[in-house]
Structure 1
Amino acid sequence: MTALAQTQPGAVKAPGAEPVLSVEGLTISVRTESGLHPLVSDMSFALERGRTLAIAGESGSGKSITSLAIMGLLPPPAVRVTGGSIRLGQTDLTALPEEALQRIRGNRIAMIFQEPMTSLNPVMTIGRQLTEAIEAHEALGRDAARALALQALRAVRISEPERRLGQYPHELSGGMRQRIMIAMALALRPDVLIADEPTTALDVTVQREVLELLRDLQRDLGTAIILITHDMGVVAELADDVIVMQSGRMVEQGTVEQVFTAPREPYTRALLAAVPRMRPAAPAPVAQAAARGQVVARLSDVEVTFDVRGGLFGRVTHRVHAVAGVSLDIREGETVALVGESGCGKSTIARAMAGLVPFRGSIEIGGKRLGGTAADLRAARREAQLVFQDPMAALDPRMRVGDLVAEPLVIHGIGTAESRRARVVDLFERVGLSRRHVERYPHEFSGGQRQRICIARALALEPRLIIADESVSALDVSVQARVLDLLRALKEEFRVSYLFISHDMAVVDNIADRVAVMYLGQVVELGTRAQVFGSPAHPYTRRLIEAVPVPDPRHQRQPSARLDTEIPSPVRRLGDPPPRLRLRDLGNGHVVAEDTALHPTA
């Protein structure tokens, strides 16, 4: 029996176990000046114990608001359930008072949110937060609650669980914080676990660890899972059944095999077609032509460190080695991708190239060396422009977008007001917007449109290099695909080069000419896309590639060793710099680090 109640006319529910959670005709509305406006309309499904239901769709489709309704966390009085029912067993949750819902939340229905740092109290230890959640639902003493918290941490396979109880959230990595949230959610063995984008903010290797952890815990505990996500690769990895939502309505539902192999609706087909996929691995050609064209940017033995002070007198005791000796060339019309997990130094290199952080070594952009005169720095900044991950944070909400795009021209004293206006209109049309958008404000645009505005602003000065720092990771897959197509078209039109920074290997595989894999501030492998993805030579590169979710439920993932420790810290004692990796040339520009002892998978 499927975990999904078929809502098509004439559908008959197969005999089987009673659903642990059933939703029938759910309608959620928001109060507006013109009356109630539906956010989710007529949603129905049933979920059985031990099954995983994925609710997939793009931003604004109604996925998260549905999960909040199940938890009884809709913000009153503006948003409320205006139709249908939500039953946990035989209990209608929509009819319960708040006091009764509090007894159910965390006990019988638990939730994991996308960003664990905002869900954990920064001034309380992990142990206190875990025991507090347990004591809220169980009449246990402090010692018994602590023992249960420790058992939950061991269940999620976190390293040194006893030590973690005494730590604060800021002392843990993102992956460890997400494991803490999973431990907190599962400590009381709930009937239903709602995971709202639980891996979106995580690196690909940590994402795989979390997905395998959820699968194992579900097998051991029999918990029913509702997975809220826009990542169809994650859906294929974890789900048994799928609901596809668009604009608050279910457009398709079925088993994961049915939806992926024979999607009925055009929206579902478009959603699946937009998912970036790793191309089939093939050995790189024996004779690979070297990159042609003039060098646009050159990094030579670049180091970036940050001092850590401590002790009574605030002396420097440790040093963060964010970038530990990186050398790299980027040529005209070339896309070079920097890949690696959080903390490896990718974004620090971007900031160093933009002149935003001090560095040692040499960085040249457009023949101008950073770190020289103020005029050289200004000229280099004109040659290299940044596109950030979050377009809303990169745009001043008080300024019209036309003025934002024209601002670099004003700063550099280029053109007259009329010529700048014409340039802005031209740039808007080049990135797929129109002149009517010029007078609007950032909040009037979608996420994808805002990122296009950021790209238009980056192109205003006709730079030779655009540094795209996780520029598509926050976008829905269909919007992501359109932005990537735009970047490719602009590269051909303007002969601009890209430094494309990402942790998404599938996206990199579809856009990069050359790939540099970073680990703990150093490059461990560098080569063409075909070399790095077709013949990965370093164990860390292989681990990154193997961890990429495959949007095909029939794909059989090969088992791999799980790490029982976190990635080592780049913080080292003063006077103890990290050992430099020696790069060995495999031929045709493909180089790999010889010393793999620094990486735990070697």
Structure 2
Amino acid sequence: MTALAEKRSGAMAAPEQETVLSVEGLTISVRTEAGLRPLVSDMSFTLGRGQTLAIAGESGSGKSITSLAIMGLLPPPAVRVTGGRILLGQTDLTALNDEAMQDIRGNRIAMIFQEPMTSLNPVMTIGRQLTEAIEAHESMSAVEARSRALDALRAVRISEPERRLRQYPHELSGGMRQRVMIAMALALRPDVLIADEPTTALDVTVQREVLDLLRDLQRDLGTAIILITHDMGVVAEMADHVIVMQSGRMVEQGSVEQVFAAPAEDYTRALLAAVPRMGRGAATPAAPRASQPPVARLSDVEVTFDLRSGLLGRVTHHVHAVAGVSFDIRKGETFALVGESGCGKSTIARAMAGLVPFRGGIEIGGKRVDGTRADLLATRREAQLVFQDPMAALDPRMRVGDLVAEPLVIHRIGTPESRRAKVFDLFERVGLTREHVDRYPHEFSGGQRQRICIARALALDPKLIIADESVSALDVSVQARVLDLLKSLKDEFGVSYLFISHDMAVVENIADRVAVMYLGQIVEMGSRAQVFGSPIHPYTRRLIDAVPVPDPRHQRKPLERLATEVPSPVRRVGDSPARLPLRNVGDGHLVVDWQQDGIPT
């Protein structure tokens, strides 16, 4: 029996399964000057052992606040449960005090949060945070706890797990931090696992392996999973039952087959229609840009970071984050970088923004990024960066309207009145309203914060926008609107994009040209039709095969788990990685010789 058939068989047997969690008429309200205002109204569902319930809906629909209520993490006294019950077995969680909930949290109910950087303690090592969570609930020695933490990191396929235990959160990429959060949740083998956008920051191959790990956990321990996600492909692949939420209410629920095959509500149909699907982008030919002048040009760019050890703190190793990358981005073109976390995509973005030192050449608008101070200021006006983690990119002490207007103030553009008018226009163009302008970042959901970051990047009307996972935190309907906005800006103003993403379906629908990266080097590069329609390198094919398909009936061919240790970009001083020359296989389609590059296939 296939994994999909096993999952569907389990779904049919759901009524006979032991109920682990039951939510009855849950109402969550926030205290306002006008009185209590409901955020979630009359929500009810049951979750059986070994089942997966997916909760889908737009940002602000009440998905995450429901999970916080189950965990007992609502911020008192402003937000609280004002009706209904949450039963874990026979225990009513809404009636427990904080001390009793501490015994349940992490042990019987665990949660993977949406934003890993704000969920991890920045002043504690990864190892200490993992062992602290384990020791808080299980009686074992420090050596045993460290061994359990190491096993958990290996289970989520993180490179150099022993070294990661000694590192701090800021030393890891966004995808690696999310894997640490998943490892922390899996280490205690809970009865219920709440996963709030657990694969948002992960590339498709690791996402696939993490989803397989969650299935293994269900099979071995009967763990029940509540999956909160905007990725309808993940919903189709993982869920037995689906709840669709809008404005704090359940608008539709049913089996995953029912919801996908015959959605009853217009809102559900609109959500499914907005999902980017592989194959749609290839049908739309990319506009030829070969005659356009380059907006940005990279020539043999290298970025390395020093690692020190020993009593004298000498440099003994280098992290070869980017190892000889060259490409150009033409006017009005969307150039996409794809690859696994840690391959060097975000490092290239930071080098182009002048945020990390590099060797080689980077030009934006004809001016060198490492040139004079005047050149650097000019390139920063011409190229704007949208960061991966929106909460870390926004100053929590400033109103979001002031944050969006800040680039205009720095570059002394316009009057206070004209800046305010531009902020209003930008907010409306990214799907927010004028009422949002005077709020603070913590008052928004993760998806809304990312839209604010995009609005800020658009403020200076740049020639190049470097979008580092810019739509990864958005639900599908807002994602579709933002992608349409990016396309319209490209058509209207000729703005170019460096689009960095792990979502292959999104890349296929928006990119003109695509470069696939592995361990700091490009292994395949070509037009959208070449890379997605006729991929040559086995690693590219592996990335495409790992993309979840938003159809519960689709049976994907199994993706082999790599038996070898994940390769590392860390090398001893003097031991530089071998350069992998790209060869033209026809019409500008470039690929390395995979029979000699040592890249896992």
Give the alignment's TM-score, normalised by structure 2.
Answer: 0.84
Residues 153 and 362 from structure 1, CA distance in 2 versus in 1: closer, same or farther, beyond 3 angstroms?
Answer: closer
Aligned residues: 589
Partner residue in 2 for 1:516: 515
Aligned equivalents of 1:258 and 1:114: distance in 2? 28
The C-alpha deviation readout for 1:574-597, integer Å capped at 9, x for no partner, is: 222111111111111100112455
Query: Which of the numbers 422, 425, 438 marks the counterpart of 1:424?
Result: 422
Give yes or no for contact 1:409–1:420 (8 Å, CA) kept in 2.
no
For 1:91-110, what aligned pairs fall within 5 Å after superposition? Answer: 91-110=91-110
The C-alpha deviation readout for 1:92-137, integer Å capped at 9, x for no partner, is: 3333444444444444333333455665667777777666656655
Partner residue in 2 for 1:72: 72
Q: CA deviation at 1:253?
A: 0.5
Residues 358 and 29 from structure 1, CA distance in 2 versus in 1: closer, same or farther, beyond 3 angstroms?
Answer: same
Residues 155 and 446 from structure 1, CA distance in 2 versus in 1: closer, same or farther, beyond 3 angstroms?
Answer: closer
Comparing 321-330 with 117-126, greater Cα deviation is found at 117-126
For 1:494-573, what aligned pairs fall within 5 Å after superposition? Answer: 494-565=493-564, 567-573=566-572
Give yes or no for contact 1:283–1:535 (8 Å, CA) kept in 2.
no
Comparing 253-262 with 221-230, greater Cα deviation is found at 221-230
Secondary structure in structure 2 of the residue aligned to 1:587? coil
For 1:176-255, what aligned pairs fall within 5 Å after superposition? Answer: 185-186=185-186, 189-255=189-255
% identity of equivalent residues: 76
Q: CA deviation at 1:204?
A: 1.9
Residue 26 (str. 1) matches residue 26 (str. 2): yes
Partner residue in 2 for 1:376: 375
Give yes or no for contact 2:59–2:445 (8 Å, CA) kept in 1.
no
For 1:305-344, what aligned pairs fall within 5 Å after superposition? Answer: 305-344=304-343
Residues 462 and 180 from structure 1, CA distance in 2 versus in 1: closer, same or farther, beyond 3 angstroms?
Answer: closer
Aligned equivalents of 1:153 and 1:438: distance in 2? 41
Residues 174 and 508 from structure 1, CA distance in 2 versus in 1: closer, same or farther, beyond 3 angstroms?
Answer: closer
Query: 2:516 corresponds to which letter in structure 1?
Result: V
Residues 125 and 554 from structure 1, CA distance in 2 versus in 1: closer, same or farther, beyond 3 angstroms?
Answer: same
Aligned equivalents of 2:284 and 2:32: distance in 1? 58
Residues 129 and 23 from structure 1, CA distance in 2 versus in 1: closer, same or farther, beyond 3 angstroms?
Answer: same
Aligned equivalents of 1:144 and 1:318: distance in 2? 28
The C-alpha deviation readout for 1:5-27, integer Å capped at 9, x for no partner, is: xxxxxxxx996344222221112
Secondary structure in structure 1 of the residue aligned to 2:297? strand
Partner residue in 2 for 1:276: 276
Residues 266 and 359 from structure 1, CA distance in 2 versus in 1: closer, same or farther, beyond 3 angstroms?
Answer: same
Residues 446 and 110 from structure 1, CA distance in 2 versus in 1: closer, same or farther, beyond 3 angstroms?
Answer: closer
The C-alpha deviation readout for 1:282-301, integer Å capped at 9, x for no partner, is: 7999x997723222222111
For 1:83-482, what aligned pairs fall within 5 Å after superposition? Answer: 83-115=83-115, 137=137, 142=141, 149=148, 153=152, 156=155, 170=169, 185-186=185-186, 189-279=189-279, 291-390=290-389, 394=393, 408=407, 411-412=410-411, 417=415, 424=422, 428=426, 431=429, 440=438, 443=441, 455=454, 458-459=457-458, 461-482=460-481
Aligned equivalents of 1:128 and 1:455: distance in 2? 35
Residues 324 and 115 from structure 1, CA distance in 2 versus in 1: closer, same or farther, beyond 3 angstroms?
Answer: same
Give yes or no for contact 1:405–1:424 (8 Å, CA) kept in 2.
no
Comparing 448-457 with 143-152, greater Cα deviation is found at 143-152
Q: CA deviation at 1:371?
A: 3.1
Give yes or no for contact 2:428–2:434 (8 Å, CA) kept in 1.
no
Give yes or no for contact 1:400–1:438 (8 Å, CA) kept in 2.
no
Partner residue in 2 for 1:38: 38
Residues 408 and 249 from structure 1, CA distance in 2 versus in 1: closer, same or farther, beyond 3 angstroms?
Answer: closer
Partner residue in 1 for 2:53: 53
Q: CA deviation at 1:321?
A: 2.0
Query: 1:322 corresponds to which letter in structure 2?
Result: A
Aligned equivalents of 1:277 and 1:403: distance in 2? 37
Comparing 59-68 with 577-586, greater Cα deviation is found at 59-68
Q: CA deviation at 1:421?
A: 5.2
Query: 1:568 corresponds to which letter in structure 2?
Result: P
Aligned equivalents of 1:258 and 1:15: distance in 2? 16
Secondary structure in structure 1 of the residue aligned to 2:575? coil
Secondary structure in structure 1 of the residue aligned to 2:19? coil
Aligned equivalents of 1:447 and 1:141: distance in 2? 37
Aligned equivalents of 2:195 and 2:344: distance in 1? 30
Aligned equivalents of 1:57 and 1:30: distance in 2? 20
Q: CA deviation at 1:430?
A: 8.9
Aligned equivalents of 1:291 and 1:508: distance in 2? 20
Aligned equivalents of 2:134 and 2:434: distance in 1? 55
Aligned equivalents of 1:149 and 1:179: distance in 2? 15
Q: CA deviation at 1:435?
A: 11
The C-alpha deviation readout for 1:475-533, integer Å capped at 9, x for no partner, is: 22222111111111111111222221222211111111000111122111110000001
Partner residue in 1 for 2:4: none
Comparing 61-70 with 114-123, greater Cα deviation is found at 114-123
Give yes or no for contact 2:399–2:440 (8 Å, CA) kept in 1.
yes
Query: 2:38 corresponds to which letter in structure 1?
Result: P
Q: CA deviation at 1:259?
A: 0.9
Secondary structure in structure 1 of the residue aligned to 2:562? coil
Give yes or no for contact 1:278–1:506 (8 Å, CA) kept in 2.
yes
Give yes or no for contact 2:50–2:224 (8 Å, CA) kept in 1.
yes
Q: CA deviation at 1:55?
A: 1.6
Q: CA deviation at 1:229?
A: 2.0
Secondary structure in structure 2 of the residue aligned to 1:594? coil
Secondary structure in structure 1 of the residue aligned to 2:508? helix
Partner residue in 1 for 2:491: 492
Residues 537 and 90 from structure 1, CA distance in 2 versus in 1: closer, same or farther, beyond 3 angstroms?
Answer: same
Secondary structure in structure 1 of the residue aligned to 2:61? coil
Comparing 581-590 with 357-366, greater Cα deviation is found at 357-366
Aligned equivalents of 1:184 and 1:425: distance in 2? 40
Partner residue in 2 for 1:578: 577
Aligned equivalents of 2:456 and 2:124: distance in 1? 42
Partner residue in 1 for 2:3: none
Give yes or no for contact 2:87–2:93 (8 Å, CA) kept in 1.
yes
Give yes or no for contact 2:47–2:53 (8 Å, CA) kept in 1.
yes
Comparing 375-384 with 405-414, greater Cα deviation is found at 405-414
Aligned equivalents of 2:418 and 2:494: distance in 1? 22
Query: 1:316 corresponds to which letter in structure 2?
Result: V
Give yes or no for contact 2:525–2:589 (8 Å, CA) kept in 1.
yes
Residues 290 and 567 from structure 1, CA distance in 2 versus in 1: closer, same or farther, beyond 3 angstroms?
Answer: farther
Query: 1:72 corresponds to which letter in structure 2?
Result: G
Aligned equivalents of 2:191 and 2:580: distance in 1? 49
Residues 94 and 520 from structure 1, CA distance in 2 versus in 1: closer, same or farther, beyond 3 angstroms?
Answer: same
Q: CA deviation at 1:561?
A: 1.2
Query: 1:44 corresponds to which letter in structure 2?
Result: S
Let me know the Cα RMSD of the aligned residues: 4.1
Secondary structure in structure 1 of the residue aligned to 2:16? coil
Give yes or no for contact 1:282–1:530 (8 Å, CA) kept in 2.
yes
Aligned equivalents of 1:123 and 1:419: distance in 2? 42
The C-alpha deviation readout for 1:257-306, integer Å capped at 9, x for no partner, is: 11111111122122222222221697999x99772322222211122223
Query: 1:318 corresponds to which letter in structure 2?
Result: H
Aligned equivalents of 1:487 and 1:82: distance in 2? 42
Aligned equivalents of 1:137 and 1:451: distance in 2? 35
Give yes or no for contact 1:284–1:534 (8 Å, CA) kept in 2.
no
Query: 2:463 corresponds to which letter in structure 1?
Result: R
Partner residue in 2 for 1:6: none
Aligned equivalents of 1:533 and 1:563: distance in 2? 23
Runs of at least 5 residues in structure 2 that lack an aligned partner in the other structure: 1-6
